[in-house]
Amino acid sequence: MRVSLASVAFSSSRFSWSTLIAWAKQLGRDDCAGVLQENLDEEKATDAKLTRIADSKINQRAA
């Protein structure tokens, strides 16, 4: 259950970043869009690391 909740939190958060990036681009603020994209990329990398941890440790304990 905890893994599912974490997954939903990351998915919804990523949607928010993508929306902000699109708005920044529409407003001609490519500088802001770039910073937001960096944050999104960092979040994706963190998500991948947490997923690996969950797959290797947490899910095994839950089974």
Average per-residue pLDDT in the chain?
79
In a domain? residue 22: no
- Residue 23 lies inside a defined structural domain of this protein: no
Cβ-count burial of 40 within 10 angstroms (0-12 exposed, 13-18 middle, 19+ buried)?
middle
Number of domains in the chain: 1
Measured distance CA(50)–CA(48) in Å, rounded: 6
**pLDDT number for residue 60:** 66
Note the Cα 56 to chain centre separation in Å.
20
Entry pTM: 0.65
Confidence category of residue 53, pLDDT binned at 50, 70, 90: confident
* Confidence at 1, pLDDT banded by 50, 70, 90: very low
Residues of the domain holding 44: 2-15+30-62
Q: What is the pLDDT of residues 5-16, one digit of tens each?
A: 555 555 556 668
